């Protein structure tokens, strides 16, 4: 019996066709090293639904496109190349016409105005696949806020394509500088991130430095010599109201808000020793965080509020340290050559930006919170004071090229190291601070 | 002996003295060529000031900055406060465009069905409701089977770009023919060929020019040459290649199949279920590059490159390809259901594939290897060097 079974099995094995035909495994190909280049987009002038809205149809698109192309992630295909123009917002575009000009994304919108209110509706289309990219959006606002409507559109499109929140409906507070170096006038100023709507917050009599935005509101904290000595002031940039944070002995400087806006961390110099203190805005009672004979300054909270990064010379040179927000043992995170200063924790928590001085030059760089993966993004005679865009993808700082007549300028760079460019601002400035997104 | 030694010593002494005092013998030309220039010492600060532009800083316009011209009163007073108003944002997604196509895997062009017996190809339909110009809609023709040769290779007059010849396999599977006998020298020497002075046509080298992004006016070619539409568009999906028939099993044949067939075996001419014969020779690296290169060319990862987890956004896409090199199915393979940033990474990869296919740039391996490349898994790995120093 066993012999018969074995013979049958052998015969089954030897018979041609008894085994299923050989199936090929799918061919595997790995594609790496992708291109990093601007995505071509098409943005025809919006459809004006009534005569009053016609004057905004082009300007809205221009401001929105300017936001998007300013990131260097997108480039606008010139409108002269468009084969057709959408006549209705709700009609499916003729994708062939947009593929013919190599557009990747198509933005179609309409605008109407009624009783002084602008209503903007738009859709984003993915041209290669011929699909709508997400839902359409409708924005309504006062006509004087038409630029903000355009920024909101750009935020929505940027978020849809990149997966990150936008940063276009934001403002920058900075120190506007004028005059020669020995008689430099420094005023607090605020401007939209695209350079529009410049407004001065302080006069030129008092020296002001290091303004910082509250991450949760439109308040600013800054250092002023208005009382004759450096003191920390709070200001509501919308109302112009300001107040001194505290009036106690000692010199306070380098203030910065906590992520929830309820506290301020800053340096306080008492008796020649500088340490870091946290001041709750409710009680205004100082809480000492560091206690060291060295100089501790430039503190910044982590996004979750549990840690503080700061600079200290306790090791003999200026280096970066991280300490629990309630105090404790500080941990050194910078070990490279040169001196490290002005650390700023990214809003998304993955990186810490800093200023580095090495060999007579200044650099803006980033590193992970544990000090690893340090990368320098810029270099110059003087690059200093980084601030993060609210989405943690772009850094702004100021650059001074040196020389007797030089004036600082605001610059920005992506954390990938690309798109280093001057901020669209017509006046010299330093110490920028990025606002959170407006409501 | 002593005399000659003394003469030799004296001559050597004379030569050494000449060399020491005249300097004519061992003076090098380099020494004569040295030119002394006056230099100016600058401080490190001045050096930095001179070269202080950061690498790649585009269009630094710092020197052009000028302080705002304000009078004293204006400087002293801050501007009036402004309070931004809240903007209302609503989604209009509920009323998605009614005719918005919802595509699952591969883009599907709206193509009217047209029978082959229609005497003339109709013009591309134009949406009268939306006067957006003429679109390049290609009709799909349904009719009798098209000859295999015609289906695979469109006419020379078609609008589709002709795909370049496939690269030859790196290793040939057939033995090379016997080389010819060695060349023998001619009895008479041939005169050397020189360029003719009387030549009239001289081909000028033209500098390479990139094609313009788009013309200001594009006339769809559909209107001008409707009769070529059939040949432009792949007429129908080609059937899969015929599988080799299984050999008829006969009582006489079985014993032959159970042992290695000799070269002259009568059964060797029939297709056998040997793996290599069914699947064809392996796909070479060069043939893989014929697929990978055009896709990589259109794979733009800029919009996701700044994400913290950008390097981990590896997606795999499974393609099913027809024998004539058309992608008939495109699905995410890993992750199966990409969401969030993986969905965006998948969209970027799919975009690259679709553009490469639309441009006719994909070069698939030869037909005899079709079984090996009818299904392809493409792995898109965005790891690359970051910018910085």
**Contact between A91 and B130 using a beta-carbon 8 Å cutoff:** yes
Annotate A262-320 with DSSP letters as a single string.
SEEEEEEEETTEEEEEEEETTT---EE----SS-EEEEEE-TTSSEEEEEE-TTSS-EE
Least Cα distance to A220 among A390, A398, A433 occurs for A433
- The percentage of chain B sitting over the pLDDT mark of 90, rounded to a whole number, equals 23
Q: Sort out which chain A residues have CB atoms less than 8 A from B95's CB and list them.
A: 90, 136
d(CA B287, CA B363): 8
Beta bridge partners of A142: A117
Q: Sort out which chain B residues have CB atoms less than 8 A from A137's CB and list them.
A: 89-92
Interface test with A, best of B88, B103, B110, B302 (most A CBs within 10 A): B302
**Where are the alpha helices (H) located in A19-175, listed in sequence order?**
54-70, 95-99, 146-162
Closest residue in A to B313 (Cα–Cα): A32
Peptide bond just before A285 cis, omega within 30 deg: no
Interface test with A, best of B214, B289, B372, B381 (most A CBs within 10 A): B214
Q: Tokens 């002075």 map to which residue?
A: B197
pLDDT reported for residue B349: 95
For A335-394, write each residue's pLDDT tens digit. 999 999 999 999 999 999 999 999 999 999 999 999 999 999 999 999 999 999 999 999
Q: Which is it for strands A105-114 and A47-48: parallel, antiparallel or unpaired? A: parallel
For B20-56, write each residue's pLDDT tens digit. 776 555 554 444 444 445 555 555 555 554 444 433 4
Using pLDDT thresholds of 50, 70 and 90, give the confidence band for residue B203. very low
Q: Sort out which chain B residues have CB atoms less than 8 A from A30's CB and list them.
A: 292, 378-379, 381
**Contact between B371 and A100 using a beta-carbon 8 Å cutoff:** no
User: Where do the CATH 2.120.10.30 domains begin and end in chain A?
Assistant: 171-434
Residues 6+ apart with CB under 8 A from B208: none
Q: Please state which CATH number belongs to domain A39-162.
A: 3.40.50.10070
**Contact between B130 and A129 using a beta-carbon 8 Å cutoff:** no
Residues 50-69 of B with CB under 8 A from A: 52-62, 65, 67-68
B153: closest CA of chain A, how far (Å): 24
Q: Sort out which chain B residues have CB atoms less than 8 A from A81's CB and list them.
A: 213-216
For A231-283, write each residue's pLDDT tens digit. 899 999 989 899 998 777 778 899 999 999 999 999 999 888 999 999 999 99
Cβ–Cβ contact B85 with A under 8 A: yes
**Contact between B77 and A26 using a beta-carbon 8 Å cutoff:** no
Is B245's pLDDT higher than 70? no
d(CA A277, CA B375): 64
Contact B366, B166 (CB under 8 A): yes
Q: Sort out which chain B residues have CB atoms less than 8 A from A438's CB and list them.
A: 84
Is B147's pLDDT higher than 50? no
Closest residue in B to A414 (Cα–Cα): B306
Question: Count of A–B CB contacts within 8 Å?
Answer: 362
Minimum-distance CB partner of B61 among A17, A177, A422: A422
Topology annotation, domain A171-434? Neuraminidase (2.120.10)
Least Cα distance to A57 among A106, A2, A121, A151 occurs for A121
Q: Which two tokens stand for residue A87?
A: 């006549």
Closest residue in B to A393 (Cα–Cα): B306
d(CA B309, CA B304): 9
Is B188's pLDDT higher than 60? no
pLDDT reported for residue B25: 53
d(CA A149, CA A112): 13
Cβ–Cβ contact B159 with A under 8 A: no
A314: closest CA of chain B, how far (Å): 27
User: Where do the CATH 3.40.50.10070 domains begin and end in chain A?
Assistant: 39-162
> Which parts of chain A sit beneath pLDDT 50?
15-20
Minimum-distance CB partner of B136 among A100, A129, A421: A100
Q: Tokens 């965080």 map to which residue?
A: A289
Which helix (H) or strand (E) is A331 found in, with range? strand A331-332
Helix axis angle for A146-162 and A54-70, nearest 10°, is: 40
For B355-385, write each residue's pLDDT tens digit. 999 889 999 999 999 999 999 999 999 986 5
Interface test with A, best of B74, B138, B246, B305 (most A CBs within 10 A): B305
**Contact between A135 and B96 using a beta-carbon 8 Å cutoff:** yes
pLDDT reported for residue B386: 54
Interface test with B, best of A7, A24, A193 (most B CBs within 10 A): A24
Cβ–Cβ contact B288 with A under 8 A: yes
Neighbours of B107 (CB within 10 A): 19
Cβ–Cβ contact B304 with A under 8 A: yes
pLDDT reported for residue A59: 96
**What does DSSP assign to residue A335?**
-
Topology annotation, domain B286-380? 3.30.1150
Cβ–Cβ contact B5 with A under 8 A: no
Closest residue in A to B287 (Cα–Cα): A29
Q: Which two tokens stand for residue B176?
A: 């090379």
Is B303's pLDDT higher than 60? yes
d(CA B299, CA A272): 58
Minimum-distance CB partner of B107 among A92, A129, A140: A129
- As a dihedral over the C-alpha atoms of residue A124, residue B381, residue B286, residue B372, rounded to 10 degrees, the angle is -80
Using pLDDT thresholds of 50, 70 and 90, give the confidence band for residue B315. very high
Closest residue in A to B281 (Cα–Cα): A24
Contact A295, A281 (CB under 8 A): no
Q: Which two tokens stand for residue B288?
A: 């893989």
Contact A97, B133 (CB under 8 A): yes
Q: Which is it for strands A137-142 and B88-91: parallel, antiparallel or unpaired? A: antiparallel
Closest residue in A to B350 (Cα–Cα): A129
Q: Tokens 């006067």 map to which residue?
A: B131
**Contact between B377 and A28 using a beta-carbon 8 Å cutoff:** yes
**What does DSSP assign to residue A260?**
T
The ipTM of this complex is 0.81
**Contact between A35 and B299 using a beta-carbon 8 Å cutoff:** yes
Using pLDDT thresholds of 50, 70 and 90, give the confidence band for residue B80. confident
Cβ–Cβ contact B326 with A under 8 A: no
pLDDT reported for residue A184: 87
B90: closest CA of chain A, how far (Å): 5
Q: Which two tokens stand for residue A423?
A: 């901020």
Cβ–Cβ contact B103 with A under 8 A: yes
Q: Which two tokens stand for residue A427?
A: 């006046």
Helix, strand or coil, per DSSP, at residue B370: helix
Closest residue in B to A378 (Cα–Cα): B54
Interface test with B, best of A129, A166, A196 (most B CBs within 10 A): A129
B200: closest CA of chain A, how far (Å): 41
Burial A140-178 (b: 16+ CB within 10 A, else e): bbeeebbbbbbbbbbbbbbebbbbbbbbbbbbbbbbbbb
d(CA A338, CA A321): 15
Interface test with B, best of A10, A25, A26 (most B CBs within 10 A): A26
Minimum-distance CB partner of A73 among B59, B297, B302: B302
Task: Give the rounded distance of the alpha carbon of A88 from its chain centre.
Answer: 35
pLDDT reported for residue A113: 95
Closest residue in A to B339 (Cα–Cα): A163
Which helix (H) or strand (E) is B152 found in, with range? helix B148-152
Q: Sort out which chain B residues have CB atoms less than 8 A from A80's CB and list them.
A: 216
Cβ–Cβ contact B272 with A under 8 A: yes
């Amino acid at each position: 019996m066993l012999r018969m079974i074995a013979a049958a099995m052998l015969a089954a094995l030897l018979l041609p066709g008894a085994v299923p035909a050989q199936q090929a495994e799918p061919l595997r190909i790995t594609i790496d090293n992708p291109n990093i280049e601007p995505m071509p987009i098409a943005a025809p002038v919006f459809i004006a639904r009534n005569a009053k809205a016609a004057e905004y149809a082009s300007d809205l698109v221009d401001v929105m496109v300017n936001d998007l192309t300013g990131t260097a992630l997108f480039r606008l295909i010139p409108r002269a190349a468009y084969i057709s123009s959408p006549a209705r917002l709700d009609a499916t575009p003729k994708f062939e016409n947009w593929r013919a000009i190599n557009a990747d994304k198509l933005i179609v919108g309409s605008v109407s105005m009624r009783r002084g209110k602008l209503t903007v509706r738009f859709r984003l289309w993915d041209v290669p696949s011929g699909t709508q990219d997400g839902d359409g959006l409708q924005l309504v606002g006062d006509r004087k806020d038409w630029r903000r409507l355009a920024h909101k559109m750009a935020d929505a499109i940027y978020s849809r394509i990149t997966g990150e929140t936008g940063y276009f409906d934001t403002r920058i507070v900075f120190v506007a500088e004028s005059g020669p170096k020995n008689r430099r006038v420094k005023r607090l100023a605020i401007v939209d991130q695209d350079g529009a709507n410049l407004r001065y917050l302080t006069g030129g009599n008092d020296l002001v430095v290091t303004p910082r935005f509250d991450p949760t509101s439109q308040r600013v904290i800054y250092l002023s010599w208005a009382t004759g000595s450096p003191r920390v002031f709070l200001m509501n940039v919308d109302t112009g109201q300001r107040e001194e944070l505290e009036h106690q002995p000692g010199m306070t400087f380098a203030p910065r808000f906590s992520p929830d806006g309820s506290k301020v961390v800053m340096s306080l110099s008492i008796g020649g020793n500088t340490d870091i203190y946290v001041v709750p805005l409710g009680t205004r009672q100082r809480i000492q965080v560091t206690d060291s004979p060295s100089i501790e300054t430039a503190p910044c909270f982590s996004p979750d509020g549990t840690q503080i990064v700061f600079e200290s010379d306790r090791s003999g040179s200026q280096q970066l340290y991280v300490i629990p927000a309630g105090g404790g043992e500080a941990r050194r995170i910078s070990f490279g050559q040169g001196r490290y200063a002005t650390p700023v924790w990214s809003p998304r928590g993955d990186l810490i930006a800093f200023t580095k001085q090495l060999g007579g030059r200044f650099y803006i760089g980033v590193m992970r919170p544990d000090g690893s993966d340090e990368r320098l993004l810029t270099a110059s005679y003087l690059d200093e004071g980084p601030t993060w865009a609210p989405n943690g993808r772009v850094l702004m700082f100021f650059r001074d090229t040196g020389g007797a007549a030089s004036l600082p300028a605001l610059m920005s760079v992506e954390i990938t190291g690309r798109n280093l460019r001057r901020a669209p601002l017509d006046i010299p400035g330093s110490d920028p601070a990025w606002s959170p997104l407006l409501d | 002996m002593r005399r000659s030694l003394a003469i030799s010593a004296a001559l050597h002494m004379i030569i050494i003295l000449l060399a020491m005092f005249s300097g004519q013998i061992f003076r090098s030309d380099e020494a004569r060529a040295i030119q002394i220039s006056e230099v100016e010492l600058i401080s490190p600060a001045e050096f930095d000031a001179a070269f202080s532009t950061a690498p790649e800083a585009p269009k630094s316009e710092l020197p052009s900055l000028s302080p705002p011209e304000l009078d004293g009163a204006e400087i002293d007073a801050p501007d009036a406060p402004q309070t931004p108003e809240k903007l209302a944002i609503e989604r209009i997604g509920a009323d998605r465009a009614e005719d918005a196509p919802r595509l699952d895997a591969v883009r599907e062009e709206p193509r009217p069905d047209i029978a082959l017996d229609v005497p003339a190809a109709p013009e591309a339909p134009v949406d009268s409701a939306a006067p957006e110009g003429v679109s390049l809609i290609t009709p799909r023709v349904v009719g009798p089977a098209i000859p295999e040769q015609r289906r695979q290779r469109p006419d020379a007059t078609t609008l589709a770009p002709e795909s370049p010849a496939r690269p030859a396999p790196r290793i040939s599977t057939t033995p090379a023919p016997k080389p010819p006998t060695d060349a023998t020298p001619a009895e008479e020497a041939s005169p050397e060929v020189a360029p003719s002075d009387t030549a009239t046509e001289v081909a000028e080298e033209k500098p390479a020019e990139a094609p313009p992004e788009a013309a200001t006016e594009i006339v769809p070619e559909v209107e001008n040459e409707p009769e070529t539409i059939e040949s432009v568009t792949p007429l129908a999906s080609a059937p899969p290649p015929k599988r080799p028939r299984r050999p008829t099993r006969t009582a006489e044949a079985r014993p032959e199949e159970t042992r290695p067939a000799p070269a002259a075996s009568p059964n060797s001419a029939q297709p056998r279920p040997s793996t290599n014969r069914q699947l064809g020779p392996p796909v070479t690296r060069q043939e893989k590059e014929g697929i990978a290169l055009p896709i990589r060319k259109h794979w733009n990862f800029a919009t996701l490159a700044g994400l913290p987890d950008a390097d981990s956004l590896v997606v795999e896409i499974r393609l099913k390809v027809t024998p004539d090199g058309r992608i008939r199915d495109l699905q995410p393979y890993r992750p199966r259901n990409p969401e969030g940033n993986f969905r965006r990474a998948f969209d970027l990869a799919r975009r690259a594939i679709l553009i490469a296919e639309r441009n006719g740039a994909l070069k698939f391996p030869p037909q005899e290897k079709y079984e090996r490349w009818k299904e392809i898994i493409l792995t898109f790995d965005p790891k690359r060097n970051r910018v910085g120093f």
